[in-house]
């Protein structure tokens, strides 16, 4: 087992890894920018080292700085968290070239799943159901028209290297194809340096269902059920729950086995999430995230496992601590993402926290790096906390979430907490009868002009 690991991240996810490591008797090294010198993850780690100025490109994304930090501190492995370098295949290769261990999958698997076209082809060959669409990239507008005619409108044009909703454009008819095609290519080139696009059938009212998988890198893998992440704004998740309100045990076992078998067959190592659109009882693969997800706590809650410790264990060459037969769903869990943003415009709201009180009690977990007097810097993602509740069933979990939100105090800045207070008054949320478009429509109807 490792004696010391470095966490190449910040905020709540860095704290999450530090806590997992400490329970395993492993020392932790925090890296930080000059803007994060007083951050909680810096205070909590066994060691901390500055890796650059505030911009992420000069600190948390600086591969030479991260590798140097390992060499200076004697860390044997790097946990990337999520975001930043977590899905950068080149970084993984550099880590391995320096005789260090990356706590995650191989560079090859990250590379395969990081390209949307290659990922889709790979999953299709492994028996995972996919959305009807183009066979690979679409080189020009003539081919785009041909694909649109073949699969039928509406279609969505997606940048091959896209993510976070960027490089995705809807064409409801052939007349809209040219604008969607050119805009998606332009956004892909601007955001990711790659203007290749592909085209898929656009599903009208799907849910976003993702399957948590975990492999040992030696041909064995399990699934840990599904999460429903359908409540989204601009393709960004805000509310996640497990198990999904629309998925029964038989369906869960069937699609879970398909996913586990797929990653086992390629000797996948560590945590991964296979994301689907789900409509009319059919699953359609959209992408695989080769890292720990923001919403992993809801899966941990219903299965009673620690996914971060499992990542560390497998990266160190040890056996997985559980098998498929050990994994049984226990109750229901919900996570809401609390951002430093002003509702309803969702504009970033960095600033100093004048008072902070985390909710507590049975079945309540608060993953956050906030503290009284902390100043949220303006340079990074606006996610400041994740509130997770777990209960015997969904109605009790919803009631617990409402109670916990009422206890939460974050003064000095605006947060998205009012959004969740409002959502918990809506019948569609209370019954679980929503899809990936529901929140956008609700916000449009409930936002003053």
**How many C-beta atoms lie closer than 10 Å to residue 1's C-beta?**
12
Active site residue 291: yes
CB 199 within 8 A of CB 158: yes
Calculate ∠ Cα 295-422-345, nearest 5°. Answer: 80
Q: Cβ neighbours of residue 57 under 8 Å, at least 6 residues apart? A: none
Token pair, residue 247, equals: 């998925």
H-assigned helices in 89-131:
89-97, 107-114, 116-125
**CA-closest candidate to residue 66, choices 30, 16, 24:** 30
Coil, strand, or helix at residue 301?
Answer: helix
- Name the percent of the chain in helix, strand, coil, to the closest 5: 35, 30, 35
Measure the CA–CA gap between 353 and 332, rounded to whole angstroms.
Answer: 32
Q: Cβ neighbours of residue 202 under 8 Å, at least 6 residues apart? A: 153, 154, 155, 156, 170
Calculate ∠ Cα 66-68-74, nearest 5°. Answer: 100
Concatenate the DSSP letters of all residues of 192-234 into one string.
HS---EEEEEPPSS-EEEEEEEEEESSS-EEEEEEEEEEEEET
**CA-closest candidate to residue 171, choices 186, 189, 190, 152:** 152
- The active-site residue out of 291, 337, 394, 400 is 291
Q: Cβ neighbours of residue 68 under 8 Å, at least 6 residues apart? A: 51
- Count of all residues that appear for the chain in the document: 449
Q: Which residues are catalytic?
A: 291
């Amino acid at each position: 087992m490792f004696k010391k690991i470095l966490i190449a991240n910040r905020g709540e996810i860095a704290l999450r890894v530090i806590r997992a490591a400490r329970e395993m008797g492993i020392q932790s090294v925090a890296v930080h920018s000059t803007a994060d010198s007083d951050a909680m993850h810096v205070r909590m780690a066994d060691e901390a080292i500055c890796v650059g100025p505030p911009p992420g490109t000069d600190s948390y994304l600086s591969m030479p700085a991260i590798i140097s930090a390992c060499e200076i501190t004697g860390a044997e492995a790097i946990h990337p968290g999520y975001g930043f370098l977590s899905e950068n295949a080149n970084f993984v290769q550099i880590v391995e070239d320096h005789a260090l261990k990356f706590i995650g999958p191989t560079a090859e698997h990250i590379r395969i799943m990081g390209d949307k076209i290659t990922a889709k082809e790979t999953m299709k060959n492994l028996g995972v159901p996919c959305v009807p669409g183009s066979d690979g990239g679409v080189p020009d507008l003539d081919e785009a028209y041909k694909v649109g005619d073949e699969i039928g409108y509406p279609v969505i044009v997606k940048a091959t290297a896209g993510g976070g909703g960027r490089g995705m454009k809807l064409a409801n008819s052939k007349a809209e194809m040219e604008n969607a095609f050119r805009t998606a290519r332009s956004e892909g080139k601007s955001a990711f340096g790659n203007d290749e696009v592909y085209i898929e059938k656009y599903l009208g009212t799907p849910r976003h269902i993702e399957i948590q998988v975990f492999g040992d890198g030696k041909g064995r893998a399990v699934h840990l059920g599904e999460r429903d992440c359908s409540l989204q704004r601009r393709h960004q998740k805000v509310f996640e729950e497990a198990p999904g309100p629309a998925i029964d045990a038989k369906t869960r076992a069937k699609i879970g086995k398909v996913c586990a078998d797929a990653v086992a067959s390629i000797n996948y190592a560590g945590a991964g999430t296979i994301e689907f659109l789900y409509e009319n009882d059919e699953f359609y693969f959209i992408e695989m995230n080769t890292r720990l997800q923001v919403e992993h706590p809801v899966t941990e809650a219903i299965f009673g496992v620690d996914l971060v410790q499992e990542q560390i264990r497998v990266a160190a060459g040890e056996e997985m601590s559980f098998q498929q037969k050990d994994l049984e769903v226990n109750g229901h869990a919900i996570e809401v993402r609390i951002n430093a943003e002003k509702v309803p415009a969702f504009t970033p709201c960095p600033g100093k926290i004048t008072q902070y009180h985390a909710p507590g009690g049975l079945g309540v977990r608060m993953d956050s790096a906030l503290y009284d007097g902390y100043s949220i810097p303006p340079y990074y993602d606006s996610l400041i906390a994740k509130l997770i509740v777990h209960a015997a069933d969904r109605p009790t979990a919803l009631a617990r979430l409402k109670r916990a939100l009422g206890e939460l105090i974050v003064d000095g800045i605006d947060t998205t907490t009012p959004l969740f207070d409002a959502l918990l008054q809506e019948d569609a949320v209370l019954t679980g009868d929503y899809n990936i478009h529901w929140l956008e429509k609700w916000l449009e109807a409930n936002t003053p002009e």
